[in-house]
A and B are shown apart, each in its own frame.
Chain A
C-alpha cells in the first residue's frame, strides 16, 4: 500500500494531522491541474479547496483500492469537468491572464514567459476536454498512460489515442511559432 493511502486510512481513524500532511503534499498539484484546465488562478484555488473538502467528507467511505493520488486526481478531474459544464451553461469567461513565473527577474524574460504561457494556454484551450485532461496529467503532472487510464476510467489504448490526437493537433498549431523560434 502506498504511503499516502496509509495516511488517508489514518485520517479515516481520526488522525487529522495525516490529512494535513496529504493536503500539504498535494495542494500544488491539485491547484495546477485545475489552473491549467480552467485558466483562472483564484477559481483554481477555490476549486482545489472543494476537492480537499470532498476528500475530507468522504474519508469514512475511503478504501485503499488504488493509489491515493489516483483517487485525488479523479476527484479533481471530475470537478474540472463539472466546472466546465457549469461555465458552458452560464457562459462565464475568465478575464485573468496566465500568471507569470515569479522566478524570472528581468522584464524581458517575464514578458517572453508571459507571452509563451498565453500561447500555450490558448492552444490547450482549443482541445476538447477529453484530450485536454490526459494532456495536462501527462505533460505537467508526469502521470503514466496507465495512471491516466485509472484516473479517467478508460483503457490505456484510449489514453494513447487521445494523447496522440492532442499532441499532433498542438504540433500543427504550434509549428509556425516553433519555426520562428529556431
Chain B
C-alpha cells in the first residue's frame, strides 16, 4: 500500500472503521513507514485533544421547563375552541338550527328585495314616461283610443 492511500485511510483506521483486510495492510505499512506512523501519532493526539472538551450537565429544571412548555402549548391549542368540548349531539343540533335559521333569513331577504325592486322599476317607468298611473295615457295615443273604446262599450252595454 502506498503512503498517499494509507494517509487517506488513516482517520478511518484509527476510528476502527476499516475491514480486516485493509486494517492489516495499514498496520503492516505503519510498521515500516516512519512518515505515516508520525502522521498517525499526530492524528491520535489531535483526537485526544478534541476529547478534552468536556460537555455540560443539563440544568436540573430542564425537564420541568419541558413539561411547562408542553402544558402551555396544549392549553393554547385547546382553550380558544370551547365549542369542540360540546357533546356531539348538542353540537349537531345547534349546527342544524343555525343552518335552518340561515336559510329562512335568506328566503325572507330575497322576497323583500325582489318586491322592493319590482316597485322601484314600476315607479321608475311611471316617472320616466310622464304618467301618474297606468290609467293616464298620452292624448291621441293608441292606448287611449283602445281604452276609450272599451270604456264606451262597457257604458253602452245594458
Q: Are A32 and B55 in contact (CB under 8 A)?
A: yes
Question: When the two chains form their complex, are residues A41 and B56 in contact, meaning their CB atoms are under 8 A apart?
Answer: yes
List B residues 12-41 near A (Cβ within 8 Å).
12, 15, 17
A105-127 interface bits toward B, Cβ cutoff 8 Å, 1 = contact, 0 = none: 00000000100110011001000
How many residues from A make CB contacts under 8 Å with B? 45
Q: Please tell me the number of chain B residues within 8 Å of chain A, measured between CB atoms.
A: 28
Task: Knowing A167-B46, A171-B43, A178-B45, say if A53 contacts B69 (CB, 8 Å).
Answer: yes
B residues near A171, Cβ cutoff 8 Å: 42-43, 46
Q: Among residues 13 to 27 in chain A, which have CB atoms less than 8 Å away from a CB atom of chain B? A: 20, 23-24, 27
Contacts of B70 in A (CB 8 A): 53, 56
Q: Is the CB of A116 within 8 A of B52?
A: yes
Contact of A144 among B8, B17, B45 (CB under 8 A): B17
**Interchain CA distance A121-B50 in the complex, whole Å:** 9
Q: B130 on the interface (CB 8 Å rule)? A: no
Chain B positions 88-132 with a Cβ under 8 Å from a chain A Cβ: none
A139/B51 contact (C-beta < 8 A), A160-B12, A178-B42 known: yes
Chief secondary structure at chain A's binding surface: helix
Contacting residue for A45 out of B11, B15, B47, B58, CB 8 A? B58
Question: Would B49 and A27 count as touching, CB distance under 8 A?
Answer: no
| Shortest distance from the beta carbon of B71 to any chain A beta carbon, whole Å | 11
Residue of B with least CB distance to A50: B69
Chain B neighbourhood of A24, CB < 8 A? 63
Q: Which one, B12, B42, B55, contacts A35 given CB within 8 A?
A: B55
State the B residues within 8 Å of A (CB).
8, 11-12, 15, 17, 42-43, 45-47, 49-59, 62-63, 65-66, 69-70, 73
- Which are the 8 A-B pairs with shortest beta-carbon distances? A32-B55, A101-B54, A120-B53, A171-B46, A31-B58, A164-B11, A145-B17, A167-B11
